[in-house]
């Protein structure tokens, strides 16, 4: 029998870890400087969360009204940063990231709409998921420390110690994301799928190329269990 649990990282430990200098073997491009107020690429578009809430109504059927879908075949958008959401919508619209369903929905959106819905989902919170206990040790090691032998950097260098990502750099939140979705994305990149050829799009394919399927499954399970439960919150562990 395999126990599943939610991972509530100790804030104190995280602070200590975050202070450790980033791994030496990080591949270029390196994590961006401290988050700026808005992504450089955002130009004149700044999301309006209120306008975005109305525009996101159509998304709720699959992603959930607050970005927490009931069905695991749709990724969680809750708590995801505006820059990342707007970027993905643009990638779907231009078919650099290929998905027939999202091509349709993204095509209906202007650049301003993309930022507005992004700003709205950024105000919501991802429901915590669960990690498989049998995979936690390897998943945690990779997430927090990478693997020097394989030349794999720590995921948390870019996705944050708590999995919240880096909004200013457009690095996505991973915390709470469905294991199957995360593992599928990673396996797709390993098999040659790409989301374009700019700096951000080149990072993940280079990393997953060095990971085995077992490592991908372990770290994917770990990130689903990552979350930041504040004091007094009840973790929805199953
Ligand atoms: C009919 C179902 C459906 C609807 C409605 C829908 N989506 Fe999606 N969405 C998907 C699926 C499926 C994926 C996963 C695509 C993939 O695997 O690459 C996705 C992926 C995404 C992603 C990428 C998430 C990530 O973590 O990289 C974003 C952003 C997104 N959708 C935003 C939206 C927005 C905004 C709307 C409304 C305007 C919307 N979606 C409406 C099905 C839907
Ligand atoms: C150097 C920075 C960096 C490191 C290290 C890194 N990532 Fe990423 N990751 C990114 C960026 C940037 C994106 C978004 C790519 C884009 O928008 O084209 C991303 C996207 C992802 C996604 C897709 C998220 C979604 O919602 O679809 C997953 C899954 C992911 N990374 C997992 C990992 C894992 C697991 C590790 C550690 C083994 C890792 N990443 C290490 C920068 C990084």
Residue 111 to residue 86: CA distance in whole angstroms: 8
Give the residue, by CA position, lying nearest to ligand 1 atom 25. Answer: 75
Q: Which atom of ligand 2 is nearest to the CA of 143?
A: 37
Per-residue pLDDT of the chain (238 residues; tens, 9 = 90+): 445 555 544 444 444 444 444 444 444 444 444 444 444 444 547 999 999 999 999 999 999 999 999 999 999 999 999 999 999 999 999 999 999 999 999 999 999 999 999 999 999 999 999 999 999 999 999 999 999 999 999 999 999 999 999 999 999 999 999 999 999 999 999 999 999 999 999 999 999 999 999 999 999 999 999 986 543 333 333 3
Q: Which atom of ligand 2 is nearest to the CA of 30?
A: 1
Residue 83 to residue 171: CA distance in whole angstroms: 8
Query: In the CATH scheme, what architecture does the domain 4-19+127-225 have?
Result: Orthogonal Bundle (1.10)
What local confidence, expressed as pLDDT, does residue 3 receive? 54
The tokens of 19 are what?
A: 């202070």
Ligand 1 near 105 CB (within 6 A): yes
Q: Check: CB of residue 47 under 8 Å from CB of residue 82.
A: yes
Q: Taken in order 166, 172, 177, 178, is the CA torsion positive or negative?
A: negative
What local confidence, expressed as pLDDT, does residue 21 receive? 42
Ligand 1 near 173 CB (within 6 A): no
Ligand 1 near 163 CB (within 6 A): no
Please tell me the distance between residue 102's alpha carbon and the centre of ligand 1 in angstroms. Answer: 5
Q: Taken in order 47, 108, 188, 192, is the CA torsion positive or negative?
A: negative
**Ligand with smallest separation from the Cα of 65:** 1
Give the residue, by CA position, lying nearest to ligand 2 atom 34. Answer: 155
Give the residue, by CA position, lying nearest to ligand 1 atom 31. Answer: 102
What local confidence, expressed as pLDDT, does residue 233 receive? 35
Please tell me the distance between residue 194's alpha carbon and the centre of ligand 1 in angstroms. Answer: 17
Ramachandran class of 43: left when φ > 0, alpha when ψ lies in -120 to 50, beta otherwise: left
What local confidence, expressed as pLDDT, does residue 227 receive? 81
What local confidence, expressed as pLDDT, does residue 33 receive? 47
Q: Check: CB of residue 130 under 8 Å from CB of residue 4.
A: yes
Report field, pTM of the whole predicted structure over 0.75: yes
Ligand 1 near 117 CB (within 6 A): yes
What local confidence, expressed as pLDDT, does residue 7 receive? 56
Q: Any idea where the domains of the chain sit in the sequence? A: 4-19+127-225, 44-122
Give the residue, by CA position, lying nearest to ligand 1 atom 23. Answer: 88
What local confidence, expressed as pLDDT, does residue 4 receive? 59
44-122: CATH, from 1.10.10.10, 1.10.760.10, 3.40.630.30, 3.90.1150.10: 1.10.760.10
What local confidence, expressed as pLDDT, does residue 16 receive? 41
Give yes or no on whether 4-19+127-225 and 44-122 have one common fold.
yes
């Amino acid at each position: 029998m395999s126990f599943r649990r939610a991972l509530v990282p100790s804030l104190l430990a995280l602070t200590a870890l975050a202070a450790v200098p980033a791994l030496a073997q990080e591949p270029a491009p390196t994590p961006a400087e401290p988050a700026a107020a808005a992504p450089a690429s955002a130009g004149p578009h700044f999301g309006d969360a209120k306008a975005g809430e109305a525009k996101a109504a159509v998304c709720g059927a699959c992603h959930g009204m607050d970005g927490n879908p009931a069905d695991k075949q749709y990724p969680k958008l809750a708590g995801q940063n505006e820059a990342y959401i707007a970027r993905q919508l643009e990638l779907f619209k231009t078919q650099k990231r290929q998905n027939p369903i999202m091509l349709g929905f993204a095509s209906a959106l202007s650049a301003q709409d993309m930022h507005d819905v992004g700003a709205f989902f950024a105000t919501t919170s991802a429901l915590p998921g669960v990690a498989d206990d049998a995979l936690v040790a390897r998943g945690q090691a990779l997430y927090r420390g990478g693997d020097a032998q394989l030349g794999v950097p720590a995921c948390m260098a870019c996705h944050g110690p708590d999995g919240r990502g880096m909004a200013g750099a457009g690095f996505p939140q991973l915390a709470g994301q469905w294991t199957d979705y995360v593992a599928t994305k990673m396996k797709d990149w390993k098999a040659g799928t790409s989301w374009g050829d700019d700096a951000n799009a080149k990072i993940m394919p280079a990393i997953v190329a060095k990971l085995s399927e077992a490592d991908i499954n372990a770290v994917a399970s770990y990130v689903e269990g990552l979350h930041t439960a504040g004091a007094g919150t009840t973790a929805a562990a199953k």
